[in-house]
Amino acid sequence: MAFNPWRRLASALLWAIGGALAAGTAGAQTVTINPNTSYQTIRGFGGMNGAGWIADLTSSQIDTAFGTAAGQVGLSIMRMRIDPDSSTWATQLPTAAAAKAKGVTLFATPWTPPASMKSNGSRVGGSLLAASYGDYATFLLNFASYMSSGNAALYAVSVQNEPDWLPNYDSCSWTSDQFRAFLTAQGSRFGNLKVIVTESLNASKTLGDPILNDASAAAQMDIMGGHFYGVSPSDYPLARSKGKELWMTEHYTDNTDANDWTAALPVGLELHNTMVSNYSAYVWWYIRRSYGLLTEDGLISKRGHVMSQFARFVRPGMVRIAATEKPYSDTYVTAYKDSAGKLVVVVINNGTSQRRVDLTLAAGSATSFTKTRTSATVSSGYAGSYAVSGGVATAYVDPGSINTFVSQ
């Protein structure tokens, strides 16, 4: 037979395709989902609205950020700032009321008490005077009342933003002992309004432990808040043992272009690690910013689409349940259920190869899953339906992608 280079090329291509298909299926791993083992209740995923520091969100941007339809982020929490000057509080109200009307959970954080209540008489640095504890509690409660009167009732109020870091703008230092004294003396005044401490720069347990170990102070706080600057998510068993929810109340991973996929997918990994660390809430820094969930033109960024893979589908009140966390060394899984039995499974493939996962669950849990995918080339796109047969749904996840499977 005469030499035919095209025959050799065709043979090589068929061999390569066959090898790739074999590689994609030979390493299939089981993801066992067990709704009978449950962890934290999810309060939601959110962002900071910076009205007063940056331009407020527009009505269209509010819809994009807090809506749950395709092409929206699905945020269910909004953080806002308590300005020490009460004459500016109206700035916070329009977006807060609009978000509240959509069912969004609102909470507020002060960067500083009014200067008159502080040791240095300044909005920058210093600490709260012990003699001003009562006035400061009144100040926080007045902000909550103002918001409530404008149809923007708060779910929670924080005592202080980043008490363990003093920048050259609005700030205030707090020690563990000061938190303990303030909570013991004033905490009962907050009634049904949840109280957040410590909102430490790096989720410091050193700052939080003495508060939790003081029975009188711990009884007057509800949420242990923390930020992830310079640290990775980690569980806080002491806080949970005292009945306190864990909330990540502020972080942004970097200030590079929010549409740079190499920096966007790591946001998904941080969300995953936050959830497996038993946090009930995750709140990004500015909702709209060049590095935010929306870019300055109001469009959803790649980071926003990554957030939406959790936020749109893992809704407030759902509970994280047991699931095989790492079926592959580069693939990460969390699972959730609601009170009606609906299941949501989020799978991140941080590798360079397609991965097959066999979602395995109890008989009758679901008949199929629909998949939504975000990757470098696709943003929150429908990516197929996977039937459940014999308690297993065989699914494929592309390299460098985050995928959400919702039971039907």
**Catalytic site residues?**
162, 250
Single-letter code of the amino acid located at 276: V
**How many Cβ atoms from other residues are within 10 Å of residue 267's Cβ?**
25
Burial letters for 282-297: b for 16+ Cβ neighbours within 10 Å, e otherwise? bbbbbbbbebbbbbee
Single-letter code of the amino acid located at 21: L
Q: What span, in angstroms and rounded, lies between the C-alpha atoms of 200 and 248?
A: 10
**How many Cβ atoms from other residues are within 10 Å of residue 339's Cβ?**
8
Dihedral sign computed on CA atoms, order 345, 346, 350, 356 = positive
Alpha-helical (H) ranges within 117-259 are 133-149, 176-186, 205-212, 215-218, 237-241
Q: What is the DSSP string of 357-393?
A: EEEE--TTS-SEEEEEEEESS-SSEEEEEEE-BTTEE
Q: What span, in angstroms and rounded, lies between the C-alpha atoms of 141 and 255?
A: 34
Q: Measuring CA to CA, how many Å separate 344 from each of 14, 265, 316?
A: 38, 19, 13
Paired tokens of 247:
């909330």
Burial letters for 366-396: b for 16+ Cβ neighbours within 10 Å, e otherwise? beebebbbbbbeebbeebeebebeeeebebb
Paired tokens of 204:
């410091």
Query: Within 13 A of 58's CA, how many CA atoms are on the CB side?
Result: 9
Q: How far apart are the first and last CA of the chain?
A: 57
**How many Cβ atoms from other residues are within 10 Å of residue 113's Cβ?**
25
